[in-house]
Amino acid sequence: MRKLINAPADVVADALRGLAAAHPALRVDPDERTVVRADAPRPGKVALVSGGGSGHEPLHGGFVGPGMLDAAVPGEVFTSPVPDQILAATMAVQGGAGVLHIVKNYTGDVLNFRMAAELAEDEGIEVVPVIVNDDVAVEDSTFTAGRRGTGATLFVEKIAGALAEEGAGLAAVAAVAREVNERSRSFGVALSPCTVPAAGRPTFELGEDEIELGIGIHGEPGRERVPAMPAAEVVDAALTAIDADMPLAGSELLVLVNGMGGTPLIEQYIAYAAVSDWLTAHGATAARPLVGPYVTSLEMAGCMISVCRLTPELTRLWDAPVETPGLRWGR
Amino acid sequence: MRKLINAPADVVADALRGLAAAHPALRVDPDERTVVRADAPRPGKVALVSGGGSGHEPLHGGFVGPGMLDAAVPGEVFTSPVPDQILAATMAVQGGAGVLHIVKNYTGDVLNFRMAAELAEDEGIEVVPVIVNDDVAVEDSTFTAGRRGTGATLFVEKIAGALAEEGAGLAAVAAVAREVNERSRSFGVALSPCTVPAAGRPTFELGEDEIELGIGIHGEPGRERVPAMPAAEVVDAALTAIDADMPLAGSELLVLVNGMGGTPLIEQYIAYAAVSDWLTAHGATAARPLVGPYVTSLEMAGCMISVCRLTPELTRLWDAPVETPGLRWGR
């Protein structure tokens, strides 16, 4: 197991210490395992809390900051955060205007966020959950009833975060989060597996010339294993699957070509060139492209393509300023 | 060879097409192989040109934009750009105030940039080269007489870019570039080799439980091959080597923990936690931390640590706004 770690049991704690040391604008509580905006709670602002297993960095802790999340709760690697942890983050950031929980659709995450929401409501805090389930590859999976939540989580966190920053109410913020999820689809491809530190062995095996189409972000099985193919064919397989589920022709798209953690940027740009060609050939426009490793799966090689059918309002919110370790731009 | 590419011969051309499609603020010339700021040339502004072999993305093309480079010239993977290409970029961005060439210290790069500078001077354009040679690991290497240029290239491009953006003259911009190089040191560690697409096999072999200390950014040999060790010991080896060359105690540092391409962000933050601990224990301050894959070596796993001993002026220039695909922040 070739990893730059100290010990498998310390991976999440050590990474959180590093995040805290590198980003003074975040308040990291190593005991509660919460990552919170330094200026939280902000009275009158709807607070956004997300989280899930670690191993997907910069998701979620790297997306805490102005214009995006108020708090993130990292679980162990590929393991849901626990309800008390989610509750602690919710209490730390709530500013009297309610809290949005952004939850990727994995059974453990959904259950634990629900329990935390109930506990928060016992404290008089209004919580609305939004489930992200953008992955068209499989209907159910190892960890999921229904579709998995993957790359579109970034879109939901950014766009809902922008609306909350403007002072919108909880119902409006939840509505735009759901709208983004409904207009988004993803499909991932693995060129290699990844190894959970505590397990010490790869999550699956791939032959030297095999790739796996429709992979999730935890090394769980995808749609099919096929011989290695050129990047343009990989992209065609992914976008054809997305297009079959949500036709793309005529759309203005937010497009993410997402590196899975072990694939370098040069290959992500090669994939993006193919995505751009495909969309042009199919009558769609990549109005807002994003290329980089944003929703990773440890050191898995491969990429995920995520798209969101934009509206003028969603575009405006995507373009709004954001200031987080993982995503930032001004105006 | 598990790569998301179309064909080994098309890697650089396809990646440049992707860069162009994803970033309309760049002007990419696929024939000349230049990446230029869309608003170039800017009359009266000192222009910054850098480049080198591809495979280190986002360096250099991803650092073209306001506050950093005016142009970048990518060679083939791990291969110097050619003089005509460097000349074309120099001509495209020169605005009458001279051009700074930022050159990593590899024999081919140094020669080809020098030839391009001579050709540009024949056209009446003043060119000053600055050589970056920050890597303390080895005195000479496969591709270098003297020390290699690695992570500090990012520091030089950012800080000299900021000064040029403010309207400083060529002598001042060159002086600050040299000052940054002189105050910077780097040391890299590989957990795995990488494979140049055209070669199709790894640049070196590592046993399952071996790592290589003092690696460069082309898979060239480092200082020594040692058994795998915890992240804190890897960091200690790197910072001890740097500290022996340039004592760090009492310094305010710009610190980069740089992912080499195949190492995920969670591990980079684990390394950063160890860096932060080490610096505190040795009386130095990480005044400006940066964690991420900025100067990569294809899909090589591992990290490089780069430091620059800041002054108030260098800090001010580091903090100045920058707007590139690979690095951006406002004020």
Going by their DSSP bridges, the two strands B71-77 and B34-37 should be labelled as antiparallel
> Are B48 and B288 in contact, with CB atoms under 8 Å apart?
no
Q: Which residues of B touch A289 (CB under 8 A)?
A: 21-23
Contact (CB<8Å) A18/B293: no
Q: Which residues of B touch A53 (CB under 8 A)?
A: none
Q: Look up residue B219 and give its DSSP letter.
A: S
A82 and A94 in one domain?
yes
Q: Which residues of A touch B330 (CB under 8 A)?
A: 321, 329-330
Q: Please give the span between the terminal C-alpha atoms of chain B, in angstroms, as a whole number.
A: 43
Q: Which residues of A touch B286 (CB under 8 A)?
A: 21
Q: Please give the span between the terminal C-alpha atoms of chain A, in angstroms, as a whole number.
A: 43
The domain spanning residue B203 has which CATH number? 3.30.1180.20
Distance from CA of A122 to the nearest CA of B (A): 35
Contact (CB<8Å) A299/B263: yes
Q: Using CB atoms, which residue from A14, A265, A291 is nearest to B273?
A: A14
> Are A26 and A35 in contact, with CB atoms under 8 Å apart?
yes
Q: How many domains does chain B have?
A: 2
State the best of B11, B266, B298, B319 to mutate against chain A, taking most chain A CBs within 10 Å. Answer: B266
Q: How far is CA B23 from the centre of its chain?
A: 20
B195 and B116 in one domain?
no
> Are B260 and B190 in contact, with CB atoms under 8 Å apart?
yes
> Quick one: which H or E segment has residue A158?
helix A152-165
CA distances from B324 to A150, B238, B321 (A): 27, 29, 10
The domain spanning residue B131 has which CATH number? 3.40.50.10440
A269 and A150 in one domain?
no
Choose the final residue of a domain: B155, B182, B209: B182
Choose the final residue of a domain: A157, A182, A207: A182
Rounded to two decimals, the ipTM of the complex is: 0.97
State the best of B217, B269, B290, B295 to mutate against chain A, taking most chain A CBs within 10 Å. Answer: B269
Distance from CA of A289 to the nearest CA of B (A): 5
Kindly state whether residue B2 falls inside one of the protein's structural domains: no
Contact (CB<8Å) B230/A54: no
Per-residue pLDDT of chain B (331 residues; tens, 9 = 90+): 789 999 999 999 999 999 999 999 999 999 999 999 999 999 999 999 999 999 999 999 999 999 999 999 999 999 999 999 999 999 999 999 999 999 999 999 999 999 999 999 999 999 999 999 999 998 876 667 789 999 999 999 999 999 999 999 999 999 999 999 999 999 999 999 999 999 999 988 898 899 999 998 998 878 899 999 999 999 999 999 999 999 999 999 999 999 999 999 999 999 999 999 999 999 999 999 999 999 999 999 999 999 999 999 999 999 999 999 999 998 6
* A86-98 pLDDT per residue, tens: 999 999 999 999 9
What's chain B's Rg over C-alpha atoms? 19
B239 and B147 in one domain?
no
* B276-292 pLDDT per residue, tens: 999 999 999 999 999 99
B283 and B210 in one domain?
yes
Containing structural domain, residue A259: 184-313
Give the residue ranges of DSSP H helices in A224-284.
Answer: 231-245, 265-281
Catalytic residue selected from A56, A60, A101, A282 = A56
**Structure-token pair, residue B253:** 């540092």
Catalytic residue check, A56? yes
**Phi first, then psi: what are they for A79, rounded to 5°?**
-135, 135
Residue B311: other Cβ atoms inside 10 A: 14
Residues 6+ apart with CB under 8 A from B247: none
Q: How far apart are CA B112 and CA B131, in angstroms?
A: 13
Choose the final residue of a domain: B182, B213, B233: B182
Q: Which residues of A touch B14 (CB under 8 A)?
A: 231, 269-270, 273-274
> Are B104 and B129 in contact, with CB atoms under 8 Å apart?
no
Kindly state whether residue A282 falls inside one of the protein's structural domains: yes
Kindly state whether residue A320 falls inside one of the protein's structural domains: no
Of the candidates A42, A112, A116, the one whose C-alpha atom is nearest the C-alpha of residue A75 is A112
Q: How far apart are CA B93 and CA B317, in angstroms?
A: 22
Distance from CA of A244 to the nearest CA of B (A): 23
